[in-house]
Structure 1
């Protein structure tokens, strides 16, 4: 299967974007959210879009984890003497795996149903994904130009910086707007899902929601850059026949 591994990041990125967009369109068409820049989680918290969002986001997390493991093994293969690079590689896999695990929790613990779980794991998913991106950017720098390129490193650096800025804006404006607006929406989740320009603190809310979409897009774009290294990976399936043991002295299980 020569050079087919680059399809994995493409399919994973497409699946993530499809998850965001299909949930958004279903939620808007059903009138479950206000159409102007709702939070990503807002579009996946009401049935039936919550079912679609949960299923597809879980599949996205699994595909991302598979790509991270392949990326880890690829780095391990070419790194022979850089101890710091080996440490970054291991830490990156652990952090990336945790991000994928928290992503499944985001998918299955809806915002309006179990908010006390959804909000922190959502922050952990994005936060750990950004840390993973930064680590992979540094790994790319260390492996250039032998096993990567300065162009790939620069692209990943720009995406990581954009993601970090968006993440800061998301939680800076998001927590502020949410705290100020609780005076009018209280515990009414329906009211919050239909946050309109005429409602209090709309300007803070819109900056936060746009920033969340930007964070999500930067994570997807970074994942897509794995196509460069994955295009160099070739898989070969070698069938091997295993003969049954004929050792008379082999122990028997009763």
Structure 2
């Protein structure tokens, strides 16, 4: 049985499962207001904090593993790509683009490692106890690295049409990437506006009182808008990672070594 497709699939499932689980637990235990808290706020209090940390660590490890395997897969494809002057009907890419793919491929590996380290910081430093560390060394770097990784993989997917992936897959990744950028941008703008309108002192905003943000606190509308877009942005990562399942089906392990294949024709789904 080929287990490699389970890696991107597991990441996709973990994203959706984590969002649902910690939100439901936080609301049931009365730790947050049910109208869209920030993800980290929903996972800031026990027992949901324990599940939040465990799932984040699992996500980070799987993301780094997937990043390494995807790096090896793209490197194999580039090294075995037919040259443009060869007489064949296979996909050919000029040398300049191959150089760019190789450069982006290395960046993609580093970005996935950065995401792993960033989500570990998010898990280790709760938003109600170490807000600055949580944001500066955790949430923001994870967001930036993820968005840049989305761009790299989307651009690479367009270069690999139709041999490695279909145009449907490339367009689907572009769709997910654009939505994630839109949601992330709205989230950041809303957070910025919210912090100017909020009436709570900073000492309370950075601690547990933030979990019960309401209309009386000030900046409530911006808080809800930013929290909704944060949830949507993270949710869009599930289908993006799930889109790699087909490509990971072409990866096998033999005697402890990875084996890669790619076809000359990929039918659109």
Is 1:222 matched with 2:221?
no
Give unmatched runs, 5+ long, in structure 2: 80-94, 258-269
Q: Does the residue aligned with 1:234 lie in a helix, a strand or coil? A: strand
Report how far residue 110 of structure 1 moved.
0.4
* Mapped pair 1:83 → 2:99: yes
Q: 1:29 is matched with which residue?
A: 28
1:82-115 per-position Cα deviation (integer Å, ceiling 9, x unaligned): 1111111001111121112101111111001111
> Among 169, 192, 205, which residue is 2:210 paired with?
192
Q: Between 186-195 and 102-111, report the one with greater CA deviation.
A: 186-195
For residues 1-254 of structure 1, the aligned pairs below 5 Å read 1-2=1-2, 4-80=3-79, 82-120=98-136, 121-181=138-198, 183-184=199-200, 186-188=202-204, 189-237=207-255
* Local SS of the residue matching 1:184: coil
| Contact map agreement 2:115 2:146 (CA 8 A) in 1 | yes
**TM-score normalised to structure 1 length:** 0.88
Deviation of 1:198 (Å): 4.9
* Bigger mean CA offset, 47-56 vs 152-161: 47-56
Q: Please tell me whether the aligned partners of residues 130 and 219 of structure 1 are also in contact (alpha carbons under 8 angstroms).
A: no
Separation of aligned partners in 2, 1:51 and 1:42 = 13
Q: Aligned Cα RMSD in Å? A: 1.7
User: TM-score w.r.t. structure 2 length?
Assistant: 0.83
Q: Give the whole-Å Cα distance in 1 for the aligned partners of 2:105 and 2:20.
A: 32
Count matched residues: 237
Give the whole-Å Cα distance in 2 for the aligned partners of 1:218 and 1:24.
17
Segments of 4+ moved more than 3 angstroms: none
Larger radius of gyration: 1
Give distance in 2, aligned partners of 1:164 and 1:91.
Answer: 19
* Unpaired segments ≥5 residues, structure 1: 240-254
CA distance, structure 2, for counterparts of residue 28 and residue 176 of structure 1: 26
